[in-house]
Amino acid sequence: MDKREKVVVVRNLYKSFGDLDVLKGVDLDLHREENLVVLGRSGTGKSVLIKIMVGLLRQDSGSMEVFGQEVSTLSLKDLNKLRLKIGFSFQNSALYDSMTVRENMEFPLVRNIKNLSKKEISMRIEELLEAVGLPHTINQMPSELSGGQKKRIGVARTLVLNPEVMLYDEPTAGLDPITCVEINNLIQEVRDRYKTTSIVITHDLACAKQTGDRMAVLLDGQFRAFGTFDEVFPLAEDQRIKSFYDYNFIYS
């Protein structure tokens, strides 16, 4: 695997909702096996960016290429083929609340990979639950799980299809500090164990520092800073990035 290979290429991307311009000419490159953290205040369009990446939203103009394919021009069949390579971990986990943990994980597996025996399905599910440290929850309903457990199961469910790219939308939002660290560790473990390329959307600097190889700060609809954590934050000249760092520091 060539780590210089560009998995995601975004050029001059625009997206607005009614009169509200959210993304105003975003450019981004994501390399294989890289953990990119996208930071920014709430409502700056971080989640919109990754939703365009999986075809849940469509950009107004510009290009969004994933594995060399322009997402907005793909047919539903090709889009679904592409989606199999992308795992999306939602902010609120988005577990199917009428299904058990096992059924949640079976759902994408049996519908996308044919001819799997019951034993193979069980083995795959148990292996992933083991990997996220929750093998005992297999027959539990999502309502019986804590916030941190739901996040872990959400990650396990996305991993069931062996994605090459993982998108984490606010993985530590609403969690206590200890669980946040556990989730951050899990993101790193997933990258190391499954060799995934990741984008982590967050406004939590502790999460960014722990999980990211590279930071990208989204301000006013454009990326204003790229680099490692130490390059972007402590010495930031842009007052908005500096205040973002200071507030996070004071808050934590």
Partner 1 sequence: MADQASTRKNVFSKKIDKFFTGLADAWNFVKRFFQEVFIPPYEFKEVIQQCYRIGVESLPLISLTGFIVGVVFTNQSRPSLSEFGATSWLPALISIAVVRAMGPLVTALIAAGKVGSGIGAEIGSMKVTEQIDAMEVSATNPFKFLVVTRVLATTFMIPVLVMYTDFVALMGAFVNVNTNELVSISTFFVQVFDAITFLDIFSSILKSLLFGFTIGIVGCYKGYNSSKGTEGVGRAANASVVIAMFLIFIEELLVLQIVTAIRSL
* Chain residues in the site for partner 1 (CB under 8 A): 51, 54, 56, 80-81, 83-84, 86, 88, 90-92, 94-98, 107-108, 111-112, 157-158, 161
Q: How far is the CB of 20 from partner 1 (least distance, A)?
A: 16
Q: How far is the CB of 88 from partner 1 (least distance, A)?
A: 4
Give the integer Cα–Cα distance in Å for 251 and 203: 12
Q: How far is the CB of 167 from partner 1 (least distance, A)?
A: 9
Q: How far is the CB of 22 from partner 1 (least distance, A)?
A: 17
Taking phi over 0 as left and psi of -120 to 50 as alpha, with beta for the rest, 194 belongs to alpha
Closer CB to partner 1, residue 84 or residue 206?
Answer: 84
Q: How far is the CB of 112 from partner 1 (least distance, A)?
A: 5
Closer CB to partner 1, residue 140 or residue 222?
Answer: 140
Closer CB to partner 1, residue 60 or residue 97?
Answer: 97
DSSP string, the chain: --TT-EEEEEEEEEEEETTEEEEEEEEEEEETT-EEEEE--TTSSHHHHHHHHTTSS--SEEEEEETTEEGGG--HHHHHHHHTTEEEE-TT----TTS-HHHHHHHHHHHHSTT--HHHHHHHHHHHHHHTT-GGGTT--GGGS-HHHHHHHHHHHHHTT--SEEEEESTTTT--HHHHHHHHHHHHHHHHHH--EEEEEES-HHHHHHH-SEEEEEETTEEEEEE-HHHHTTT--SHHHHHHHHHHHHH-
Closer CB to partner 1, residue 165 or residue 205?
Answer: 165
Tokens of 171: 């993985």
Closer CB to partner 1, residue 12 or residue 80?
Answer: 80
Q: How far is the CB of 83 from partner 1 (least distance, A)?
A: 4
For residues 62 and 26, the answer to whether their CB atoms sit within 8 Å is yes
Closer CB to partner 1, residue 39 or residue 71?
Answer: 71
Q: How far is the CB of 154 from partner 1 (least distance, A)?
A: 8
Closer CB to partner 1, residue 153 or residue 236?
Answer: 153
